Chains A and B, each alone.
Chain A
Amino acid sequence: MWDNISLLLGGPQGSGLESSAQVLSKAFARLGYGIFADREYFSNIKGRHSYIHMNVSSRRHPISLSYPVQILCAMDAETVFTHFQDVEENGVIVYDVSTLSTRSSTIPSIEPKLRERLKAYFSELGLSDTIQSLIRYLRSVKKIRFVGLDYPKILSEISQKFTLNPGQASRYLSSIIVGSVVGLTGLKLDAVGYALASRFAGRQQLIEHNLFIIEYVSETVREGFRILYELEPSKIGLEKMLVASGNDIVAMAKIVGGLRFQSYYPITPAADESFTLETFERLEVEGESLGSLIVTQTEDEIAAIASAIGASLSGVRSATSTSGPGFSLMVEALGYAGQIEAPVVITYYQRGAPSTGQPTRGGQSDLLFTLYASHGEFPRVVLSSGDHLEAFYDTILALNLSEKYNVPVIHLLDKFLANSIATTPLPEIRKVVIDRGKTVFEKPDFKRFDLSRPISLRAFLGSNTIQWAAGDEHDEFGHIDEDPLNRREMYEKRMKKIEIMDSEIPSENRCMFFGQDGVKLVMVGWGSVKGAALDAIEAMKAYGVRCGYLHLKMFSPFPTEYVKSILSKFRPENLVAVEHNYLAQASKLVTQNTGILVEKSIVKYTGRPIYVNELVRALNRVLEGERRVVLEYGA
């Protein structure tokens, strides 16, 4: 019995893979297993190759992904051609027997570079480029096992049974994939039924059809092939689990945190968060309303951030959610929020950049940008999260900090987090605190920018006060004032907040160190690097090397003292940056703030996640003296 299984499910974009992943995730969770699933896809609606990389564990909530996988389920020939090297020896590939004669060179959606690589691969081995010859080779040389199913036949049986037209039947293609996973892992059908009911609540026919195919396929696989990757019963021991994407968990946190206004302009990979928020706009629980949440799709991202700042001036917790191109447009207003000391939260999901970059792929190349975006100097918080639960609590922290210090807060996330589904324990709501900062509701001659305290009292528009604000330098009332001494005082009042935040925000919100005594090599990373880094620490033990991981969370104000206290114990050549960008941006900030050089780096900028297997290999290379390793694994 297995305690951990990795799966790859691949097929054309738009063919239902995403909901297959949701169904499988919930089914595994139903039985108490932890899952972590990344979704990789093109910026395309229908037809291009997409896949789900899923890790299932009986012992814990998985936090990372690794290759090779045990099981590859291919909806089409392209998936087999793209991923056959991702499968371990003895692993299983489920494929469609009707594609046996399909050639890699004739699949138009395969990108030219991959087609060339395949061509070279086949010609080196002297193989023809059909699925059939590939299978023959993999079976004999790589000991891979194959489960061949006749997808068109299965679908035509379905359409006969339920009298569906072929178009309708083809929508069940993804259920063949789910069915084969069920067959191979022995996943209980009850759990699948539960997951389907939850995914397609109220659509009884859909549930019934899906369940039928899944059962049918799983029996065919089980009886016909007798391959079983049976998971041991779960030892995680939770009664309930949250199963959510990063986008969704952030949306939940915003609601718990009291958000009342969210503006956005559609962009991948941020928009799903706003969509989820909008489905909860009535904030109703069992018919009882807890308030209202205005979610508004604006004409552009400038409008998105400006209206969020406006809403904040009216006294509600407000946020906007975006990605790189959108944030680029928001920059002028970001500085305005800094200047008029308005709270606002920008949830920023990084994607492949610059420019349109890789719209649906991940990256961490916007860190320096978020720190320095907008002209002039003003205090801001830049906070990043490394996993789903961190993102939950950080979302609320972001709302709190923005209101407590009257500053814009950039909550820096990325596509990897946004689109990955993870199981987690339920967030502990009883530990959540809401801090709205100091407010005033009635004051004649109210000075919004009162110089007697660095963090002035905030009043809501519409309360018993009159207030002014201006992006121009202003006096205590908010009227334009260019007097040099006033300028100095106001400037310093604002900048002083950096020091105050630095002294007040606890270091555990800003940085975490993972590592025991005797650590030799310390990885320095942030955001989604966390999971892979932590699992690499474990994996490196097999090589007799103790590694540590410094997880940076807050980049402004930077936790200088804490980082210094950890890193100064190590020699610079034993510090290795692990990041999803070219410059190893966070490590530059470490040096800038602490004077400590992070001499080594392991970087990845292909848009795909860092996998534990490649990270471990890279760490070993670093130990052998390499200064910089560039990772590139993953389709």
Chain B
Amino acid sequence: MVRSPNDYRTDVWVDWCPGCGNYGILAALYKAFAELQLDPTNTVIVSGIGCSGKTPHFVKVNGIHTLHGRAIVFATGIKLANPTLTVLVHGGDGDLLGIGLGHFIALGRKNLDIKVMLHDNRVYGLTKGQASPTLSKGLKTKSLAQPNILSSLNPIALALVSGYTFVARGYSMLSEHLKNLIVAAIKHKGSAFIDILQPCVTYNDIHTPEYYRKRVYFLEEEGWSPKVEEGNEIDKMFNAIRKSFEVERIPIGIFYQNTFKQTLEESYGQRIPSYLKTLPPWQKILKDDGSPIFDDTLFEKMFNEYIVKVEKS
């Protein structure tokens, strides 16, 4: 059976505001999944809390809608326990870069094969428009009482220095381009990050579709080559970081991709050979009669160092 984008739709009513950038992200996701013919039973979307957090309910693959800021760590357990799953994280900028920032950085260090989609609308959508970590200092979006007093952080640079091996930026209104990025991210082996520029039509009157239309340009059109070749990792990363600080013109596309780094699951697999041979969920832990695979003899053998044989006097 060939799956079309429509086959990945659930019949849950999509309750984002009309015109919200999230619709473009969702459309790109359906198309990417169809292009890759992802098996819905083997695919998991894990989300945090926010407008963005609702994404899994609209997609007919496994969907785990978790806590504010914690999607990455739920996904980490899901993926480590079953490394054959395709695991995506969807979160907002408040979610991933505010309350969940520590996990965002830690995932880069792990290079675990999880794809992180940042719905970057520069506001806290679901709590009615407060400043998010990607809103620049001094800006006053619609529902702020005062201009933003904090500086913004740069998600691309942060992902790069954290160790993500696939770092890209997409724009929700350029759904086809975004789809291609998602496909590339899923095909990549390792922690992948896409900063998705997402207009929030209700609370962000600065970063509007107009704003982006004037600024966005394609990295690939300027001959950007994101791929690390043996030996030039640092150069590639530094160039990508420099590029990520362009603000007047906003580059989109793949900033950086490194396929040389071992993933966390590979590292575990190297240490524990049976890990990738029989996936943990399918490993036998009990016999048919409900007793554990351990018996008294196996127990004694495995925990020999704790067992003292009493000397006969």
Contact residues of A with B, CB < 8 Å? 26, 29-32, 190-191, 194, 198, 201, 233-234, 238-244, 248, 252, 255-258, 260-261, 263, 280-283, 285-286, 289-294, 296, 298-300, 302-303, 306-318, 332-333, 336, 340, 396, 423, 426-430, 432-436, 460-472, 478-480
How far apart sit A302 and B104, CA to CA, in the bound complex (Å)?
A: 13
Chain B 70-110: CB-based contact to A (< 8 A → 1; otherwise 0): 10011111111110110000000000000000110110000
Chain B hits for A460, CB < 8 A: 82, 281
Chain B 271-313: CB-based contact to A (< 8 A → 1; otherwise 0): 1111100111101111000111111101111110111111101
How far apart sit A282 and B275, CA to CA, in the bound complex (Å)?
A: 8
How far apart sit A461 and B88, CA to CA, in the bound complex (Å)?
A: 13
How far apart sit A467 and B308, CA to CA, in the bound complex (Å)?
A: 48
Additional pairs, 19, CB under 8 Å, beyond known A242-B307, A314-B82, A469-B63: A234-B310, A240-B307, A244-B306, A248-B306, A260-B281, A260-B285, A261-B81, A282-B272, A283-B302, A293-B272, A306-B70, A310-B81, A313-B77, A314-B81, A427-B299, A436-B286, A461-B64, A462-B82, A471-B67
A198 closest partner in B (C-beta):
B305
Chain B hits for A298, CB < 8 A: 73, 76, 106
A285 touches B74 (CB 8 A): no
- How many chain B residues touch the partner (CB < 8 A)? 71
B280 touches A309 (CB 8 A): no
How far apart sit A466 and B70, CA to CA, in the bound complex (Å)?
A: 22
B268 adjacent to chain A (CB < 8 Å): yes
Give 24 CB contacts A-B under 8 Å.
A31-B313, A32-B310, A244-B306, A252-B303, A260-B281, A281-B271, A283-B302, A291-B274, A291-B284, A294-B81, A303-B102, A306-B73, A307-B76, A310-B76, A314-B77, A316-B283, A427-B299, A428-B296, A430-B296, A432-B294, A434-B290, A462-B84, A464-B41, A466-B41
Of A29, A190, A313, A435, most buried by chain B (CB within 10 Å of CB) is: A313
Chain B hits for A466, CB < 8 A: 40-41, 60-62
B301 touches A285 (CB 8 A): yes
Chain A hits for B42, CB < 8 A: 462
How far apart sit A469 and B63, CA to CA, in the bound complex (Å)?
A: 6
Chain B hits for A258, CB < 8 A: 285-286, 292-293
Chain B hits for A280, CB < 8 A: 302
B80 touches A261 (CB 8 A): yes
A191 touches B311 (CB 8 A): yes
Q: Which of A286, A289, A299, A303 contacts B274 (CB 8 A)?
A: A289
How far apart sit A433 and B290, CA to CA, in the bound complex (Å)?
A: 6
A263 closest partner in B (C-beta):
B77
Chain A hits for B106, CB < 8 A: 298-299, 303
B143 adjacent to chain A (CB < 8 Å): no
B74 touches A309 (CB 8 A): yes
Min CB distance A328 to B, Å, is 16
B295 touches A315 (CB 8 A): no
Min CB distance A192 to B, Å, is 12
B65 adjacent to chain A (CB < 8 Å): yes
Min CB distance B9 to A, Å, is 13
Contact residues of B with A, CB < 8 Å? 10, 12, 40-42, 44, 46, 49, 54, 56-57, 60-67, 70, 73-82, 84-85, 102-103, 105-106, 268, 271-275, 278-281, 283-286, 290-296, 298-303, 305-311, 313
How far apart sit A423 and B309, CA to CA, in the bound complex (Å)?
A: 12
Min CB distance A88 to B, Å, is 28
Chain A hits for B10, CB < 8 A: 479
Of A198, A429, A462, A479, most buried by chain B (CB within 10 Å of CB) is: A462
Min CB distance B64 to A, Å, is 5
Chain A hits for B271, CB < 8 A: 281-282
A190 closest partner in B (C-beta):
B311
Chain A hits for B313, CB < 8 A: 31-32, 233-234
B40 closest partner in A (C-beta):
A466
B306 touches A291 (CB 8 A): no
Chain B hits for A300, CB < 8 A: 102
A480 touches B57 (CB 8 A): yes
Min CB distance A249 to B, Å, is 8
A261 touches B307 (CB 8 A): no
B103 touches A294 (CB 8 A): no
Min CB distance A619 to B, Å, is 35
Min CB distance B43 to A, Å, is 9
How far apart sit A303 and B82, CA to CA, in the bound complex (Å)?
A: 17
How far apart sit A308 and B78, CA to CA, in the bound complex (Å)?
A: 8
How far apart sit A302 and B100, CA to CA, in the bound complex (Å)?
A: 10
B299 touches A429 (CB 8 A): yes
A396 closest partner in B (C-beta):
B292
Min CB distance B307 to A, Å, is 6
A311 touches B78 (CB 8 A): yes
Chain B hits for A461, CB < 8 A: 44, 62, 64, 78, 82, 85
A315 touches B57 (CB 8 A): no
Given A311-B81, A428-B296, A433-B290: A317 and B103 interface contact (C-beta under 8 Å): no
B46 closest partner in A (C-beta):
A310
B66 touches A306 (CB 8 A): yes
A281 touches B60 (CB 8 A): no
A479 touches B286 (CB 8 A): no
Min CB distance A317 to B, Å, is 7
A315 touches B81 (CB 8 A): yes
How far apart sit A291 and B65, CA to CA, in the bound complex (Å)?
A: 30
A344 closest partner in B (C-beta):
B77
Chain A hits for B79, CB < 8 A: 310, 314
B312 closest partner in A (C-beta):
A239
A333 touches B70 (CB 8 A): yes
Min CB distance B55 to A, Å, is 11
How far apart sit A461 and B76, CA to CA, in the bound complex (Å)?
A: 13
Q: Which of A194, A243, A292, A423 contacts B280 (CB 8 A)?
A: A292
Chain A hits for B74, CB < 8 A: 306-307, 309-310, 313
Min CB distance B185 to A, Å, is 20
A291 touches B311 (CB 8 A): no
Chain B hits for A26, CB < 8 A: 308
